[in-house]
Structure 1
Amino acid sequence: MQTQPLRLGPGNDLRGAIETLLRPHGAAFVLQGIGSLSVARLRLAGRAQADELVGDIEILTLAGSVSPDGAHLHMTIADADGRVLGGHVAPGCTVRTTVELLAAVLPAHVFGRKVDPATGYPELVVRSEGDEPSIPG
Structure 2
Amino acid sequence: MDLHPVRLTPGADLRRALEALATASGADAAFVVAGIGSLVNARLRYAGEPAETDLAGPLEILSLSGSLSASGAHLHVSVSDASGRVLGGHLGHGSIVRTTAEILLAPLPGWSLAREPDPATGFMELVVRRKI
TM-score w.r.t. structure 2 length?
A: 0.96
Q: Which ranges in structure 2 are unaligned for 5 or more consecutive residues?
A: none
Query: What is the match of residue 17 of structure 1?
Result: 17
**Alignment partner of 1:96 is 2:81:** no
Partner of 1:73: 75
Q: Trace 1:30-49 onto structure 2 (pairs within 5 A).
A: 30-49=32-51
Q: Take 1:7 and 1:84, find their aligned partners in 2: how far apart are those partners?
A: 23
Equivalent residue pairs, number:
130
CA distance in 1, matches of 2:126, 2:50: 19
Spell out structure 1 runs of 4+ moving beyond 3 A. Answer: none
2: CA distance, partners of 1:84 / 1:55: 12
Secondary structure (helix, strand or coil) at the match of 1:15 reads: helix
User: Structure 1: which amino acid aligns with 2:39?
Assistant: L
What amino acid maps onto 2:76 in structure 1? H
- How many angstroms does 1:108 deviate by? 1.1
Cα RMSD for the two superposed structures: 0.7
Give the letter aligned to residue 19 of structure 1: E
Identical columns (%):
55
Alpha-carbon separation, structure 2, partners of 1:55 and 1:65: 25
Deviations 1:97-136 (A, max 9, x none): 0000001000010111101000111111101112xxxxxx
Cα separation, 2, equivalents of 1:56 and 1:92:
14
Q: Which amino acid aligns with 1:55?
A: G
With structure 1 as the length reference, what TM-score do the two structures score? 0.93
- Cα deviation for residue 2 of structure 1 reads 1.7
Q: What is the correspondence of 1:104-123 to structure 2 with a 5 Å cutoff?
A: 104-123=106-125
Letter in 1 for 2:18: I
Alignment partner, residue 62 of structure 2: 60
3-state SS in 1 of match to 2:3: strand
Amino acid at match of 2:120: A
CA distance in 2, matches of 1:116, 1:122: 6
Gaps in structure 1 of 5+ consecutive residues? 131-137
Distance 1:71 1:93 in 2: 14
